[in-house]
Amino acid sequence: MGKTDTTSSKSYLLLIFSISLAIFMSSLDGTIVNIALPTISESFGVSTSAVSWVATAYLLVMAGCVLIFGKISDFIGYKKIFLSGFVVFTLGSFACGFLPELLDSFYALVGSRAFQGIGGAMISAIAPAMVTAFIPMEQKGKAMGIIMTVAALGTAIGPTIGGLLTQYISWHWIFFINVPIGILSVIIGMKAIPGQSDRNAPLSGFDRSGAAFIFIGLAALLFAVSEGEVLGWTSPAILVSGAVAAVSLALFVWRELHAAEPLLELRLFGKRNFLLTNLILVLVFFGFSGINYLLPFYLQYVLGYETSAAGMVLTSLSFAMMVSGLAAGLLYNRLGGRVLAIAAAAIIAAGYYMMTHLQANTTIAYVVAALIVIGFGLGLMVTPVSNMIMNSVAKRYQGMVSSLTSLERFAPMTIGIAIFNLIFVQGILRIAENRDITMQSPVEVKMHLLSAGFDIAFFGAFIVAVVVLVLAFLARQEIHPDYLDAGDEGASE
């Protein structure tokens, strides 16, 4: 594609603010909803497994659409997709709060969440691409640091805001809160986001077959993974879903290797460094899913904390991410992405190793210290690796690769939850076969089994972190010639 329109220095701040609002809304929505699910379940008189579809519907649509909108943005430009995404997300948020009450229907809520997921996919697909496309090379690291910090803030305050709104007003307001933010974002985005006169190509060349295959494949895969524990891994629904996912994803790979304008240019993975950096991002979020999902159960079942207190403990990780996210942005241009990624991987591995030593009598100070270490490492990792991925490909692939990095954030989290939960359960079953356990009291047996199950699962996360550390050593920071000018020649390592 050709050269994008330039922006003034003043517009950079507005642009970063607009992108930050998008990431904040997405991160907030990811944590603000879950805490209200029990209340929603009671409100509509549905089971806990049924109410989980409020989260699942959003996730499945996001997964199926994110790559599609990333590619479409390469055809028609980021501004149209980004602003349209905000409009859809805002309308979907309003519908989630309004239609279920109006129609007295739980299915109206699930349908509205699916519609909201379309807007979420449009926003998250291209937010990283806009940083790469419109922010000067010397400011990219700082911009990504700010955006990642805002993302951590949204994640951190989501449960607190969700709990307050649900308890003191109503669960509808966890969706209504997005409406004013969305309106503000559209107004700012219209002014701050540059147009791209060179990206006005017709969609006649858009890979519709590939889009259908990836939507069906990813949605079926994430459905099987997220619902396998509830429905049973050998149930017909899960087996059929797994088969559909396998066939659809295989057809997607075949299609992309033969399409003139592929939805995802798979040949990019033939480049060693592109493959390594994407693997790092996938494994970072995969490993984190184990800690993020299982630790609340440890705090409640083993240490005996109330849900609200456990939530407060977990916010220490998000606030550590905020601090290191800002630090990563400031240090990126000075130290380079590879150095930061290696340091971050080592810190994450140290935090996960601390987690493998949790016991029934572990102090809360130790848990918080481990979470701070992990959070600091995660914040230090995401900014440089995301920049390394985005800056390593030609500008014509920006939307495509941006949507890929978004997918690599939430899909591994979903898959990781299922796998680490399986490790946790199987670990308990294997240890329960130990004959010495039968000589202990029931309470001691329960604590021993739970603690051991958590240790095994956390050790699995530690192994993943070690693999990430090795990959970080092997990776290199490469900057595509599209982003190099006379002042950027020294940016590549």
pLDDT in tens, 462-491: 999 999 999 999 988 888 787 665 344 333
Instruction: Calculate mean pLDDT across residues 265-286.
Output: 90
Tell me which amino acid residue 372 is.
Answer: I
- Please give the mean pLDDT across all residues of the chain: 81
More confidently predicted of 322 and 431 = 322
Question: For 124, what's the count of Cα atoms within 13 Å in the CB-facing half-sphere?
Answer: 32
Residue 8: the pLDDT is 55
Residue 2: the pLDDT is 43
Q: What percent of the chain has pLDDT over 90?
A: 19
| pLDDT classification of 3: cutoffs 50, 70, 90 | very low
pLDDT tens for 35-71 read 787 788 888 888 766 777 887 788 788 878 888 888 8
| pLDDT classification of 99: cutoffs 50, 70, 90 | very high
Q: Is the pTM of the predicted complex or chain greater than 0.85?
A: no
Closest CA to 122 of 205, 26, 230, 216: 26
Closest CA to 59 of 172, 210, 219: 219
| Gap between the Cα atoms of 43 and 61, Å rounded | 25
More confidently predicted of 188 and 444 = 188
Structure tokens at 244: 């559909």
| Gap between the Cα atoms of 457 and 434, Å rounded | 18
Residues 7, 68, 215: CA angle, nearest 5 degrees = 160
**Residue with structure tokens 């309106």?**
183
Residue 429: helix, strand or coil by DSSP?
Answer: helix
Structure tokens at 299: 């705090």
Residue 93 · residue 69 · CB < 8 Å: no
